[in-house]
Amino acid sequence: MPSVSPARNGYPPVSSPSYEGRHRAPGQHRGPAKGPRIPEVLKSGYLLPSVAAAAMVVTATGATVTQSAPLDLHVTGAASSAKANDAAAFRMSRLESQQQRSAQADAARSRVVQAQQVARAAERRALAAKSAKAAAAKKAAAERKARETWVMPIKGAVFTSGFGWRWGRMHEGDDFGTPVGTPLAAMSTGKVTFAGWEGGYGNKIEITYWDGTVSVFGHLSQIATSVGQAVAPGDIVGYSGNTGHSTGPHLHLEIHPGGGNAIDPAPWLHSHGLQ
Protein backbone atom coordinates (compact mmCIF):
# COMPACT_ATOMS: atom_id res chain seq x y z
CA MET A 1 0.00 0.00 0.00
CA PRO A 2 1.49 3.34 -0.90
CA SER A 3 2.36 5.73 1.80
CA VAL A 4 0.96 9.27 1.98
CA SER A 5 3.19 12.16 2.88
CA PRO A 6 1.76 14.77 5.16
CA ALA A 7 0.51 18.06 3.66
CA ARG A 8 3.12 20.76 3.27
CA ASN A 9 2.54 24.49 3.11
CA GLY A 10 -1.11 24.04 2.33
CA TYR A 11 -0.54 21.76 -0.65
CA PRO A 12 -2.44 18.51 -0.77
CA PRO A 13 -0.59 15.47 0.44
CA VAL A 14 1.47 13.62 -2.11
CA SER A 15 1.14 9.91 -2.37
CA SER A 16 4.42 8.01 -2.37
CA PRO A 17 4.58 4.88 -4.40
CA SER A 18 5.50 1.69 -2.70
CA TYR A 19 8.92 0.39 -2.69
CA GLU A 20 8.04 -2.03 -5.26
CA GLY A 21 6.68 0.74 -7.44
CA ARG A 22 9.80 2.78 -7.07
CA HIS A 23 12.23 -0.03 -7.71
CA ARG A 24 11.65 -2.27 -10.69
CA ALA A 25 13.20 -5.52 -11.18
CA PRO A 26 16.57 -5.50 -12.80
CA GLY A 27 16.47 -5.92 -16.51
CA GLN A 28 13.13 -4.22 -16.90
CA HIS A 29 13.00 -0.91 -18.66
CA ARG A 30 10.31 1.75 -18.99
CA GLY A 31 8.77 1.90 -22.38
CA PRO A 32 9.24 4.89 -24.58
CA ALA A 33 7.00 7.82 -23.74
CA LYS A 34 4.19 8.39 -26.12
CA GLY A 35 3.62 11.87 -27.55
CA PRO A 36 5.98 14.86 -27.47
CA ARG A 37 8.38 15.17 -24.62
CA ILE A 38 7.62 17.99 -22.25
CA PRO A 39 10.63 19.95 -21.09
CA GLU A 40 11.42 19.71 -17.46
CA VAL A 41 11.04 23.33 -16.91
CA LEU A 42 7.44 23.10 -18.05
CA LYS A 43 6.86 20.40 -15.52
CA SER A 44 8.03 22.48 -12.61
CA GLY A 45 6.07 25.02 -10.68
CA TYR A 46 8.02 27.79 -12.33
CA LEU A 47 5.80 27.53 -15.40
CA LEU A 48 3.04 29.63 -13.92
CA PRO A 49 4.97 32.92 -13.77
CA SER A 50 6.20 32.37 -17.30
CA VAL A 51 2.76 31.55 -18.61
CA ALA A 52 1.33 34.41 -16.64
CA ALA A 53 3.95 36.71 -18.10
CA ALA A 54 3.18 35.38 -21.52
CA ALA A 55 -0.49 35.93 -20.85
CA MET A 56 0.29 39.38 -19.63
CA VAL A 57 2.37 40.06 -22.69
CA VAL A 58 -0.35 38.72 -24.88
CA THR A 59 -2.84 40.66 -22.85
CA ALA A 60 -0.71 43.77 -23.07
CA THR A 61 -0.22 43.21 -26.76
CA GLY A 62 -3.89 42.59 -27.18
CA ALA A 63 -4.61 45.69 -25.17
CA THR A 64 -2.16 47.58 -27.28
CA VAL A 65 -3.74 46.23 -30.39
CA THR A 66 -7.15 46.91 -28.98
CA GLN A 67 -6.08 50.36 -27.99
CA SER A 68 -4.19 50.92 -31.24
CA ALA A 69 -7.03 49.72 -33.47
CA PRO A 70 -9.13 52.89 -33.11
CA LEU A 71 -6.04 55.03 -33.85
CA ASP A 72 -5.32 53.00 -36.95
CA LEU A 73 -8.96 53.24 -38.03
CA HIS A 74 -8.86 56.96 -37.33
CA VAL A 75 -5.75 57.40 -39.48
CA THR A 76 -7.27 55.26 -42.19
CA GLY A 77 -10.52 57.25 -42.00
CA ALA A 78 -8.63 60.52 -42.06
CA ALA A 79 -6.71 59.36 -45.11
CA SER A 80 -9.93 58.29 -46.78
CA SER A 81 -11.53 61.60 -45.84
CA ALA A 82 -8.52 63.52 -47.15
CA LYS A 83 -8.63 61.48 -50.35
CA ALA A 84 -12.34 62.16 -50.67
CA ASN A 85 -11.73 65.85 -50.00
CA ASP A 86 -8.99 65.87 -52.62
CA ALA A 87 -11.32 64.17 -55.09
CA ALA A 88 -14.09 66.63 -54.27
CA ALA A 89 -11.66 69.54 -54.62
CA PHE A 90 -10.49 68.14 -57.96
CA ARG A 91 -14.06 67.80 -59.16
CA MET A 92 -14.85 71.30 -57.93
CA SER A 93 -11.74 72.66 -59.66
CA ARG A 94 -12.65 70.86 -62.87
CA LEU A 95 -16.22 72.15 -62.61
CA GLU A 96 -14.95 75.67 -62.02
CA SER A 97 -12.62 75.30 -65.01
CA GLN A 98 -15.50 74.08 -67.15
CA GLN A 99 -17.68 76.93 -65.93
CA GLN A 100 -14.87 79.39 -66.60
CA ARG A 101 -14.34 78.00 -70.11
CA SER A 102 -18.10 78.08 -70.68
CA ALA A 103 -18.24 81.68 -69.46
CA GLN A 104 -15.30 82.57 -71.69
CA ALA A 105 -17.00 80.87 -74.65
CA ASP A 106 -20.24 82.72 -73.87
CA ALA A 107 -18.35 86.00 -73.64
CA ALA A 108 -16.60 85.27 -76.95
CA ARG A 109 -19.91 84.44 -78.61
CA SER A 110 -21.42 87.58 -77.13
CA ARG A 111 -18.55 89.64 -78.52
CA VAL A 112 -19.01 88.01 -81.92
CA VAL A 113 -22.75 88.69 -81.83
CA GLN A 114 -22.14 92.29 -80.77
CA ALA A 115 -19.55 92.71 -83.52
CA GLN A 116 -21.98 91.28 -86.05
CA GLN A 117 -24.72 93.58 -84.79
CA VAL A 118 -22.38 96.57 -85.00
CA ALA A 119 -21.32 95.51 -88.51
CA ARG A 120 -24.92 95.06 -89.61
CA ALA A 121 -25.85 98.43 -88.10
CA ALA A 122 -22.92 100.02 -89.92
CA GLU A 123 -23.98 98.29 -93.13
CA ARG A 124 -27.53 99.55 -92.65
CA ARG A 125 -26.26 103.06 -91.99
CA ALA A 126 -23.98 102.88 -95.01
CA LEU A 127 -26.82 101.54 -97.14
CA ALA A 128 -29.16 104.23 -95.83
CA ALA A 129 -26.51 106.88 -96.49
CA LYS A 130 -25.90 105.44 -99.94
CA SER A 131 -29.62 105.36 -100.63
CA ALA A 132 -30.03 108.90 -99.33
CA LYS A 133 -27.07 110.02 -101.40
CA ALA A 134 -28.49 108.27 -104.46
CA ALA A 135 -31.90 109.82 -103.81
CA ALA A 136 -30.32 113.24 -103.36
CA ALA A 137 -28.30 112.79 -106.51
CA LYS A 138 -31.39 111.66 -108.38
CA LYS A 139 -33.33 114.61 -107.06
CA ALA A 140 -30.52 116.97 -107.94
CA ALA A 141 -30.31 115.45 -111.41
CA ALA A 142 -34.05 115.80 -111.83
CA GLU A 143 -33.89 119.37 -110.60
CA ARG A 144 -30.96 120.11 -112.85
CA LYS A 145 -32.72 118.51 -115.78
CA ALA A 146 -35.81 120.50 -115.02
CA ARG A 147 -33.73 123.61 -114.57
CA GLU A 148 -31.72 122.99 -117.70
CA THR A 149 -34.66 121.98 -119.85
CA TRP A 150 -35.22 124.10 -122.91
CA VAL A 151 -38.62 124.91 -124.39
CA MET A 152 -39.87 126.97 -127.32
CA PRO A 153 -41.01 130.44 -126.25
CA ILE A 154 -44.16 130.27 -128.37
CA LYS A 155 -46.55 127.55 -129.53
CA GLY A 156 -48.55 127.35 -132.73
CA ALA A 157 -46.60 130.09 -134.48
CA VAL A 158 -45.51 130.15 -138.14
CA PHE A 159 -41.92 130.87 -139.14
CA THR A 160 -41.97 133.99 -141.37
CA SER A 161 -38.43 135.40 -141.53
CA GLY A 162 -34.94 134.13 -140.71
CA PHE A 163 -31.57 135.40 -139.55
CA GLY A 164 -29.46 137.50 -142.01
CA TRP A 165 -29.19 140.72 -143.98
CA ARG A 166 -32.40 142.31 -145.03
CA TRP A 167 -33.16 145.76 -146.46
CA GLY A 168 -29.63 146.86 -146.00
CA ARG A 169 -29.28 145.87 -142.40
CA MET A 170 -28.70 142.75 -140.30
CA HIS A 171 -31.78 140.96 -139.10
CA GLU A 172 -30.39 139.24 -135.99
CA GLY A 173 -33.24 136.85 -135.23
CA ASP A 174 -36.09 134.68 -136.44
CA ASP A 175 -39.66 135.92 -136.74
CA PHE A 176 -42.69 133.80 -135.82
CA GLY A 177 -46.06 135.12 -136.95
CA THR A 178 -48.80 134.75 -134.32
CA PRO A 179 -51.91 136.62 -133.22
CA VAL A 180 -51.54 139.44 -130.75
CA GLY A 181 -51.73 138.25 -127.17
CA THR A 182 -50.14 134.81 -127.66
CA PRO A 183 -48.41 133.82 -124.40
CA LEU A 184 -44.58 133.93 -124.42
CA ALA A 185 -42.58 131.64 -122.10
CA ALA A 186 -39.10 131.67 -120.63
CA MET A 187 -37.02 129.15 -122.54
CA SER A 188 -35.20 127.73 -119.47
CA THR A 189 -34.13 128.58 -115.93
CA GLY A 190 -32.75 132.07 -115.64
CA LYS A 191 -33.30 135.66 -114.62
CA VAL A 192 -34.88 138.63 -116.32
CA THR A 193 -32.17 141.17 -117.13
CA PHE A 194 -34.25 143.65 -119.17
CA ALA A 195 -37.98 144.37 -119.40
CA GLY A 196 -39.25 147.52 -121.13
CA TRP A 197 -39.44 149.62 -124.27
CA GLU A 198 -36.43 149.81 -126.62
CA GLY A 199 -36.66 151.62 -130.06
CA GLY A 200 -37.52 149.35 -132.99
CA TYR A 201 -38.01 146.35 -130.62
CA GLY A 202 -41.01 148.02 -129.07
CA ASN A 203 -41.73 146.16 -125.82
CA LYS A 204 -38.66 144.02 -125.21
CA ILE A 205 -37.62 141.33 -122.69
CA GLU A 206 -34.09 139.91 -122.18
CA ILE A 207 -33.55 136.76 -120.09
CA THR A 208 -30.13 135.41 -119.10
CA TYR A 209 -30.25 131.62 -118.61
CA TRP A 210 -28.28 129.23 -116.42
CA ASP A 211 -25.63 128.57 -119.13
CA GLY A 212 -25.12 132.27 -119.95
CA THR A 213 -27.26 132.25 -123.05
CA VAL A 214 -29.40 135.37 -123.50
CA SER A 215 -32.74 135.37 -125.34
CA VAL A 216 -34.41 138.52 -126.70
CA PHE A 217 -38.17 138.81 -127.24
CA GLY A 218 -39.33 141.86 -129.31
CA HIS A 219 -42.56 143.58 -130.43
CA LEU A 220 -44.54 142.36 -127.35
CA SER A 221 -47.98 143.70 -126.71
CA GLN A 222 -47.57 143.23 -122.95
CA ILE A 223 -44.73 142.56 -120.50
CA ALA A 224 -45.62 140.22 -117.61
CA THR A 225 -42.30 140.20 -115.69
CA SER A 226 -39.73 142.55 -114.21
CA VAL A 227 -35.96 142.86 -114.03
CA GLY A 228 -34.38 140.53 -111.52
CA GLN A 229 -37.22 138.02 -111.52
CA ALA A 230 -36.17 134.38 -111.55
CA VAL A 231 -37.88 132.28 -114.15
CA ALA A 232 -38.19 128.58 -114.90
CA PRO A 233 -38.80 126.81 -118.22
CA GLY A 234 -42.32 127.60 -119.44
CA ASP A 235 -42.98 130.55 -117.10
CA ILE A 236 -45.10 133.18 -118.89
CA VAL A 237 -43.19 136.45 -119.15
CA GLY A 238 -45.30 138.39 -121.72
CA TYR A 239 -47.56 138.33 -124.76
CA SER A 240 -46.87 138.69 -128.44
CA GLY A 241 -47.79 141.92 -130.28
CA ASN A 242 -46.96 144.38 -133.04
CA THR A 243 -45.05 147.16 -131.25
CA GLY A 244 -41.91 148.93 -132.52
CA HIS A 245 -40.76 148.51 -136.14
CA SER A 246 -43.15 145.71 -137.08
CA THR A 247 -45.24 144.98 -140.16
CA GLY A 248 -47.55 142.53 -138.39
CA PRO A 249 -48.09 140.73 -135.11
CA HIS A 250 -45.23 138.34 -134.50
CA LEU A 251 -42.46 137.37 -132.07
CA HIS A 252 -38.95 138.49 -132.90
CA LEU A 253 -36.53 135.96 -131.25
CA GLU A 254 -32.77 136.44 -130.86
CA ILE A 255 -30.18 134.05 -129.30
CA HIS A 256 -26.90 135.41 -127.82
CA PRO A 257 -24.69 132.56 -126.51
CA GLY A 258 -22.74 133.69 -123.45
CA GLY A 259 -24.36 137.11 -123.76
CA GLY A 260 -22.29 137.84 -126.90
CA ASN A 261 -23.30 138.53 -130.47
CA ALA A 262 -26.49 137.13 -131.91
CA ILE A 263 -26.35 133.89 -133.89
CA ASP A 264 -28.76 132.18 -136.24
CA PRO A 265 -31.43 130.79 -133.91
CA ALA A 266 -32.39 127.86 -136.18
CA PRO A 267 -29.27 125.66 -135.66
CA TRP A 268 -29.21 126.50 -131.99
CA LEU A 269 -32.90 125.57 -131.58
CA HIS A 270 -32.28 122.34 -133.45
CA SER A 271 -29.28 121.43 -131.25
CA HIS A 272 -31.45 121.91 -128.18
CA GLY A 273 -34.22 119.69 -129.53
CA LEU A 274 -36.64 122.54 -130.14
CA GLN A 275 -36.91 122.27 -133.95
The whole model's pTM is what?
0.56
Alpha carbons 110 and 120: distance in angstroms, whole number: 15
* pLDDT: which is higher, 215 or 81: 215
pLDDT on residue 40: 55
pLDDT on residue 82: 83
pLDDT on residue 23: 46
Residues composing the chain: 275
Q: Which CATH architecture has domain 158-271?
A: Distorted Sandwich (2.70)
Residue 98 has pLDDT above 50, yes or no: yes
Q: What is the mean pLDDT of residues 139-148?
A: 87
For the CA atoms of the chain, what is the radius of gyration?
A: 72
Q: What is the mean pLDDT of residues 199-218?
A: 97
- Lowest-confidence range among 106-115, 205-214, 249-258? 106-115
- Lowest-confidence range among 120-129, 141-150, 231-240? 141-150
**In the chain, where the domains are located:** 54-148, 158-271
- Which of the four pLDDT bands, split at 50, 70 and 90, describes residue 47? very low
Strands annotated E in 84-242: 158-161, 164-166, 169-171, 174-177, 183-185, 190-197, 203-209, 214-223, 230-231, 236-240
Kindly report, residue by residue over 55-72, the tens digit of the pLDDT.
444 444 444 444 444 555
The helix (H) or strand (E) run that includes residue 135 is: helix 47-148
Phi, psi (deg, nearest 5) at residue 147: -70, -35
